[in-house]
């Protein structure tokens, strides 16, 4: 339809990179694009930490569950939801911030996520590839210690970026007929069989890590075990009390 839509529809996560580094100019363009994303009330409640220290990279790779690409990618960014900036702004205006609201947590998390998706798309438009790393939430307290992340800020995910040294097949997504509903929420689940067939083919025939799986087998395996149950306590400790 147009080049932007083609680029978006060509996305795949990249976990293997060439040794070529990303120029400062390109990285700046990526971060600028991240900052151009929409943001709730222009609060801009996010920060991005570029991890250039090799020891910290190694440690983060281990903390994220031994994800080697975290250590090896030319660039590794940590996207943080950042309400400390809003707190600083309130202090600047001699006001106390009304902290700890779930809504603020959502605003900051959404802001960080929108900025990150802009960064990913900008990177892909420059011929780079990358992958989001939610694995840094396996050990969020240790990540905060390592990166000196203060209260009212938390690392939402990381992002590896670099020039792709692989071209994995694209993971099939749900069809528009399923994700787009008209006027009312649709509880129809009759699409599952068809989508499972498409995903079964993908998993069986992909060049890397071929396996017997379907979408429902994958997702149900993941969603039927506790999901990082430490997050609630961690967020509360960081000042995101979820009032």
Using CB under 6 A, list all residues that contact ligand FMN: 11-13, 15, 64, 67, 131-135, 157, 171
d(CA 116, CA 101): 23
β 153-162/129-133 pair status: antiparallel
How far apart are CB 158 and ligand FMN at their closest, in Å? 8
d(CA 89, CA 7): 37
Q: Considering beta carbons, is residue 94 or 205 the nearer one to ligand FMN?
A: 205
Using Cβ positions, the residue closest to ligand FMN within the complex turns out to be 134
**8 Å CB contact between 6 and 125:** no
Q: Considering beta carbons, is residue 157 or 234 the nearer one to ligand FMN?
A: 157
d(CA 121, CA 11): 8
Q: Considering beta carbons, is residue 11 or 57 the nearer one to ligand FMN?
A: 11
Q: Considering beta carbons, is residue 131 or 161 the nearer one to ligand FMN?
A: 131
How far apart are CB 142 and ligand FMN at their closest, in Å? 15
How far apart are CB 97 and ligand FMN at their closest, in Å? 27
Residue 115's closest CA among 147, 159, 57, 160? 159
How far apart are CB 196 and ligand FMN at their closest, in Å? 16
Per-residue tokens: 48: 């991005």
């Amino acid at each position: 339809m147009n080049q932007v839509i083609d680029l978006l529809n060509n996305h795949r996560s990249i976990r293997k990179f060439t040794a070529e580094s990303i120029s400062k100019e390109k990285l700046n363009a990526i971060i600028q694009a991240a900052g151009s994303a929409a943001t709730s009330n222009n609060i801009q409640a996010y920060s991005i930490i570029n991890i250039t220290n090799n020891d910290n990279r190694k440690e983060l790779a281990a903390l994220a569950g031994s994800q080697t690409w975290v250590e090896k990618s030319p660039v590794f960014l940590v996207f943080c939801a950042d309400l400390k900036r809003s707190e600083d702004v309130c202090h600047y205006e001699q006001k106390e911030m009304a902290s700890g609201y779930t809504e603020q947590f959502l605003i900051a998390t959404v802001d960080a996520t929108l900025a990150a998706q802009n960064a990913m798309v900008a990177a892909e438009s420059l011929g780079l590839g990358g992958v989001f790393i939610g694995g840094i939430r396996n050990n969020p307290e240790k990540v905060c210690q390592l990166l000196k992340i203060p209260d009212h800020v938390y690392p939402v995910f990381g992002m590896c970026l670099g020039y792709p040294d692989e071209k994995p097949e694209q993971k099939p997504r749900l069809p528009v007929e399923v994700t787009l509903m008209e006027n009312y929420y649709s509880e129809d689940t009759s699409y599952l069989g068809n989508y499972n067939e498409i995903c079964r083919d993908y998993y069986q025939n992909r060049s890397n890590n071929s396996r017997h799986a379907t979408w429902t087998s994958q997702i149900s395996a993941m969603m039927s075990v506790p999901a990082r149950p430490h997050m609630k306590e961690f967020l509360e400790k960081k000042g995101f009390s979820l009032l």
